[in-house]
């Protein structure tokens, strides 16, 4: 009983910090993410004064992030996209989410590995982990501003859809690389020049994980739609959808052993497409429900980042952070401008202003923070990777996010 009471108290402390962050964002007229980050820092400062333990540890953060927070964030993002518009842009989006993500990961890995110039403390596998984490984007700031200026639905679909599929691919790559990294550490084989064994097997495993997750998501999405239609009530529909989020992830990850994130994304898209005629009936509250769930999840992630961030990260790793910022921006820009001209062969053409918006608007946000927080502390380079990612995310919030409004006005969007 005491353990349950402690757990409830810890949850309330974190949720209260998230609400304080939203209040700060409103008062300071800034993004919610930055407000929650400040609230997390303040909550961390108060912990010694009140002699309180949040029970956040490296070993349980991974479970919290992957089993609770990421499925909600991915499902919410997928549910909000209009299926018909997504169908029109699906081929270009898949182009960005496959070849574009691989280009981004490899460029970031190369620049950080050779730039940090510490092969013993920052091996290739650490550089690949950094690349996979920084490949995940968060265009929330761009989307919010586009909604305020009479948005183009096609542009919004492209930005949101590209980010969604991009995040799913980056999470799958991160999971794969993290598995290799953890196995390497367990075997005691951490070395600078050791190549990844069995590249062909890894590629096959990646394909099976990706397409297997899509198959599970398709099945769960159809089942979810059938159950919702059969029950035919607003309360039961919301309960079924929330159950689908966690049930789909659990089925994919622990029963079928494929990508739970991809499964959740496909489940949301399929269920939304099948239930499009019910949006104005008993599914009118679905979008607001997932909006507040997503808001809470994202706020908690940035509160945890505020609790975790330290001054040592910037005093000790400032050069690595600067290198990673340049690598992240350059890799994103290169991947967009290499893939965008090819989009005309598989779908609608992407104009140059849209390419610029996709490149600069590919902020690193909640997904990148969630992934880096889930790194196990057994990895000898976890502090370097976490410091680098936190630095890039702060740059995204303070520079890319705040300059996005000017960019949109400049391009006449």
Query: d(Cα 35, Cα 245) in Å, to the nearest integer?
Result: 27
Hey, how many other C-beta atoms are within 10 angstroms of the C-beta on 290? 24
Q: Structure pTM? A: 0.89
Q: Alpha-carbon dihedral of residues 153, 160, 333, 324, nearest 10 degrees?
A: 150
List CB contacts of 316: < 8 A, sequence separation 6 or more: 387
Q: For 139, how many CA atoms within 13 A lie in the half-sphere containing its CB?
A: 26
Distance of CA 144 to the CA centre of its chain: 17
Structure token digits, residue 177: 């690389």
State the first-to-last Cα distance of the chain, in angstroms, to the nearest integer: 56
d(CA 176, CA 207): 11
Give me the sign of the Cα torsion angle 343, 344, 349, 354: positive
Domains of the chain (ranges plus CATH)?
1-55 (no CATH), 59-410 (1.20.1530.20)
Contact 372, 64 (CB under 8 A): no
Distance of CA 321 to the CA centre of its chain: 20
Q: Output DSSP code: residue 377.
A: T
Q: How many residues does the chain have?
A: 413
Which has the closest alpha carbon to 76: 304, 298, 287?
A: 287
Structure tokens at 43: 């909550």
- 385 near 112, Cβ under 8 Å? no
| Location of structure tokens 């989020």 | 245
For every residue of 266-311, DSSP letters joined together read HHHHHHHHHTGGGTTTTTTTHHHHHHHHHHHHHHHHHHHHHHH--H
In this structure, the number of other CB atoms found within 10 A of the CB of residue 137 comes to 28
pLDDT tens for the 413 residues of the chain, in order: 555 666 677 778 888 889 999 999 999 888 888 899 999 899 888 877 666 666 666 566 777 888 888 999 999 999 988 888 888 899 999 999 989 999 999 999 999 998 886 655 788 899 999 999 999 988 777 777 777 765 667 888 888 889 999 999 999 999 989 888 876 655 554 443 444 445 666 777 778 888 999 999 999 999 999 999 998 888 899 999 999 999 999 999 999 999 999 999 999 999 999 988 887 777 888 888 888 999 999 999 999 898 888 888 898 889 999 999 999 999 999 999 999 999 888 888 888 888 888 888 888 889 999 999 888 888 888 899 999 999 999 999 888 888 877 777 777 76
Residue written as tokens 């091996």? 123
């Amino acid at each position: 009983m005491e353990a349950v009471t402690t757990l409830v108290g810890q949850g309330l402390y974190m949720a209260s910090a998230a609400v304080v962050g939203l209040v700060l964002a409103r008062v300071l007229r800034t993004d919610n993410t930055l407000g929650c980050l400040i609230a997390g820092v303040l909550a961390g400062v108060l912990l010694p004064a009140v002699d309180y333990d949040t029970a956040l540890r490296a070993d349980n953060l991974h479970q919290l992030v992957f089993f609770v927070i990421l499925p909600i964030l991915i499902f919410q993002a997928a549910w909000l996209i209009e299926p018909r518009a997504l169908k029109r842009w699906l081929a270009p989006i898949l182009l960005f989410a496959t070849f574009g993500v691989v280009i981004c990961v490899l460029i970031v890995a190369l620049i950080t590995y050779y730039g940090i110039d510490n092969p013993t403390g920052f091996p290739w596998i650490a550089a690949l982990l950094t690349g996979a984490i920084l490949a995940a984007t968060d265009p929330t700031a761009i989307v919010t501003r586009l909604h305020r200026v009479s948005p183009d639905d096609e542009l919004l679909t492209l930005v949101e859809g590209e980010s969604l599929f991009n995040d799913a691919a980056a999470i799958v790559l991160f999971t794969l690389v993290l598995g290799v990294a953890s196995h390497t550490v367990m075997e005691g084989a951490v070395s600078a020049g050791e190549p990844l064994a069995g590249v062909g097997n890894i590629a096959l495993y990646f394909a099976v994980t990706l397409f297997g997750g899509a198959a599970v998501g398709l099945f769960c999405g159809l089942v979810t739609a059938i159950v919702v239609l059969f029950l035919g009530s607003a309360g039961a529909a919301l309960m079924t959808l929330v159950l689908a989020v966690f049930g789909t992830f659990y089925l994919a990850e622990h029963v079928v052993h494929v990508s739970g994130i991809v499964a959740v994304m496909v489940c949301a898209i399929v269920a939304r497409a099948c239930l499009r005629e019910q949006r104005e009936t008993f599914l009118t509250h679905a979008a607001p429900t997932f909006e507040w769930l997503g808001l809470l999840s994202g706020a908690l992630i940035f509160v945890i980042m505020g609790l975790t961030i330290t001054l040592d990260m910037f005093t000790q790793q400032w050069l690595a952070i600067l290198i990673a910022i340049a690598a992240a921006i350059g890799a994103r820009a290169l991947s967009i401008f290499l893939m965008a001209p090819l989009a005309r062969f598989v779908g609608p053409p992407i104009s140059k202003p849209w390419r610029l918006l996709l490149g600069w608007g590919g902020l690193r946000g909640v997904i990148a923070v969630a992934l880096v927080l889930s790194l196990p502390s057994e990895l000898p380079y976890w502090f370097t990777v976490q410091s680098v990612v936190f630095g890039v995310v702060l740059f995204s919030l303070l520079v890319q996010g705040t300059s996005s409004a000017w960019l949109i006005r400049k391009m006449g969007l």
